[in-house]
Amino acid sequence: MKDFKCVLVALLLSTACYTSIIFAADKNTALTESPHQENSYQENNVDSSVSTANHSEENDPTYTPLPVEAFAHLPDVADIKLSPEGDKIASLIRLNTQEKKGTAVQITDLKTGKSIYPIYAENTKYKLSWILWGNSDTLLASAIFPAVRYGVPTTETRLLSIDVTTGEYEAVLPRRYLRKLDFMPQFQDQIIDLLPNDKDHILMELSVKAESSQVIKVNLKSGKVRVQEKRGRFVNSWTTDQQHNVRARVEREDTEFRVRVRLPDSRDWELFWTFEAFAEDQVWPLGFDLDPKILYVQKYHNNRLAIFKVDVTDPKRELSLVFSDEEYDADGGLLYSKITDKVIGTTFSTKSGFTFWDPKYIALQNGINKALPDYDNIIVDFSGDERRYLLLSKSDLDAGTYYLGDRDSGQLNLVAYRYRALDPKNMAEKLSVSYKARDGVKIKGFLTLPKGSDGKSLPTIIHPHGGPISFSGSGFNYWTQFFANRGYAVLQMDFRGSSGHGFDFMQAGLKNWGKQMQTDVEDGTRWMIEQGYADPERICIVGGSYGGYAALMEAANSSELYQCAISFAGVTDVEYLVKSNRRYTNYEVVKEQIGSNFKELAKYSPVNQANSIDVPVLLVHGTKDRSVRYNHSRKMEKALRKAGKDVTYVEQEDGDHYLSKEEHRVQFFTLMDDFLAKHLGR
């Protein structure tokens, strides 16, 4: 078996090699060797009852504090895929033994119940990002790791091919091919077509020069590479049709995007749409239907992202609305039938799961929802004949339970829990709320109250999300459940600039850091006090990334509202954040989003407001963070100490932006637990 770290060394990752590991995984971290719970369901809305260990209907009001590790450990199962024949399940599992801790690939044969564990990562030098079945015999896995190019910190990816019979693996792109290139590609895991009718090959897009990419056809057995589509300057992405021809591409030059499309049986690229970053007239290709003339795209409709289709051979290129949602952006991708190759729906998810348009799949989804009511039931994968499927059932109380569904028998077999230690009976309900900002704009959010509390005058956590073009979400959140389990009320809000709420709301966040985006957070804190949920003498603001920025700015602007502030990997110097992108290809887009008036950006930077912060501050940052450099927290600590303020700074060696290493996650949550107990009490 080839050693994974040795493979990465060959691809310019500087680290020592050591022996590959095949191990007997801890039974508490792996998939169950054989599903042990069967639950009946039927398609076409036939009622069915279900009772499982994790989907309990009991409502135990008892407050049960759980160990920090219960919330802070990595998910027991992070990714899961069903083989084309439906006879094997592959997953990324949490490894937690005395000898090894991290993430491993597990491949389980459903007929024999036997498993192999071909790859293990400690989540320090590199981590395993996702897995995908290349064909019946081959599993593909992406590895991601931090690096430095010409003094610029980068994130790199590599694609591995795993033989599911022997467990042997190797890099998909061989060294002999990479040596021929003038430019070592930063991202080497971008698959654009699995070519299901050609089990030996896949199509990948690869940057072979700065701001220039091409499409290559790779033989998974021999490693032979052939150029399928020659280098395209400024090309960001390529799209194939259902006949596996390269048919669409997106180019970006500075802040301008161009979408070019090929007509069926043509080699010429025609310019279809041109638009600026963050513009309302943007049109993004999603994919082609079985009919090669029909292209699905995403664009704004009535201020919300919607899905349209267009006949590319129509000279007028008229767009026909396919799907929209009145309240939220329809921001999902396309779902395809593995049998017909036709588009059957979108991954835009509601409480009823993915959105299907085909009646047959609607019936399947309805049957599942009848069997598992009050859960968001997502069909994450099908077998090739679509008679078997993997289901993720989750809610605000349930971190997620995976089932193997069999459409012939109508059975759901329990496969694994995402967080085995987090029993939904001990979790707190998340309530949808809204409040008005000071200028009358409606701000949506979520309120989580400690289980068993009366919801009055509670110690409170204000928890703005990261991004900032992101959103809070109605589902399970291990941060908020941790806070609630400790007795704190938690408010999350989608301040201006958050995604999902339409064009105008997203636009309101551009070049608005520290302004209305910030006062939206403050207004949420005041709303919690006015409604009687929060004890005004016991409020802390906690966030990560942009949320860390918002926490520190609140501590500077409104120290009288808070008793403490916590920032994980937070932005502290907005001017530095923008300038540090000068050597990246997205610099102009960053300036369009955040701004280029450096005097103003400095004004709205927490590092320059240290004198105004009158509450204790906890800063935690990883040294290998490639999204927000750890210099932000170092500079913030220095500024606070110079101003004589109460600050604690913990630097996590080799830590990243996502707390990928369990040791770091547990450390941070333990620090938060102690810090909050000290300043807010229980």
**Domain ranges (residues) in the chain:** 4-417, 429-680
**Helices 546-557 & 516-530, crossing angle to 10 degrees?**
70
Report whether pLDDT(15) > 60.
no
In angstroms, the CA 247 to CA 226 distance is 18
pLDDT for the residue numbered 124:
83
For residue 584, what pLDDT is reported? 82
pLDDT at 666 > cutoff 70: yes
Q: What is the pLDDT of residue 61?
A: 52
For residue 178, the surrounding DSSP H or E stretch is helix 175-178
Cβ-based neighbours of 393, under 8 Å, separated by 6 or more: 55, 372, 375, 376, 377, 378, 400, 401, 402, 403
User: What is the reported pLDDT for 581?
Assistant: 87
Q: How confident is the model at residue 51 (pLDDT cuts 50, 70, 90)?
A: very low
**Whether the predicted pLDDT of 176 surpasses 80:** yes
Helix (H, G, I), strand (E, B) or coil at 282: coil
Taking residues 478-486, report their average pLDDT. 96
Confidence at residue 153, expressed as pLDDT on a 0 to 100 scale: 87
Dump pLDDT digits (tens) for 74-128. Answer: 999 999 999 999 999 999 999 888 888 899 999 999 999 999 999 999 888 889 9
Radius of gyration of the chain measured on its C-alpha atoms: 25
Residue 70 in this model has a pLDDT that exceeds 60 = yes
216: left (phi over 0), alpha (psi -120 to 50) or beta: beta
- The CATH architecture one would assign to domain 429-680 is 3-Layer(aba) Sandwich (3.40)
- 454: CB partners within 8 A, 6+ apart: none
Neighbours of 194 (CB within 10 A): 18
Phi, psi angle pair for 389, to nearest 5° = -155, 160
Model confidence pLDDT, tens digit, residues 498-554: 999 999 999 999 999 999 999 999 999 999 999 999 999 999 999 999 999 999 999
Q: For residue range 196-232, what is the model confidence (pLDDT) as tens digits?
A: 999 999 999 999 877 789 999 999 999 999 999 988 8
pLDDT (tens digit per residue) in 133-172:
999 999 999 999 998 888 888 899 999 999 999 999 999 9
205 bridge partner residues: 215
Q: Tens digits of per-residue pLDDT, 332-373? A: 999 999 999 999 999 998 777 899 999 999 999 999 999 999
pLDDT at 537: 96
CA distances from 512 to 506, 601, 608 (A): 11, 10, 17
CATH for the 4-417 domain, from 2.60.120, 3.40.50, 2.130.10, 3.30.1370: 2.130.10
Residue 617, SS3?
strand
With a cut of 70, say whether residue 40 has pLDDT above it: no
Q: Is the pLDDT higher at 50 or at 506?
A: 506
CB-CB neighbours of 222 under 10 Å:
10
Higher pLDDT, 31 or 104: 104
The whole-angstrom separation of Cα 377 and Cα 364 is 11
The closest of 524, 396, 536 to 456, measured between CA atoms, is 536
Return the amino acid letter for 299.
K
Identify whether the C-beta of residue 411 lies closer than 8 Å to the C-beta of residue 37: no
Residues 397 and 462: their CA atoms lie apart, in Å, by 20
Please tell me the distance from the alpha carbon of residue 71 to that of residue 483, in angstroms, as a whole number: 10
Q: What SS3 state is found at 470? A: coil
- What's the confidence (pLDDT) of residue 152? 84
Phi and psi of 127, rounded to 5°?
Answer: -135, 155
Alpha-carbon gap, residue 653 to 552, rounded angstroms: 23
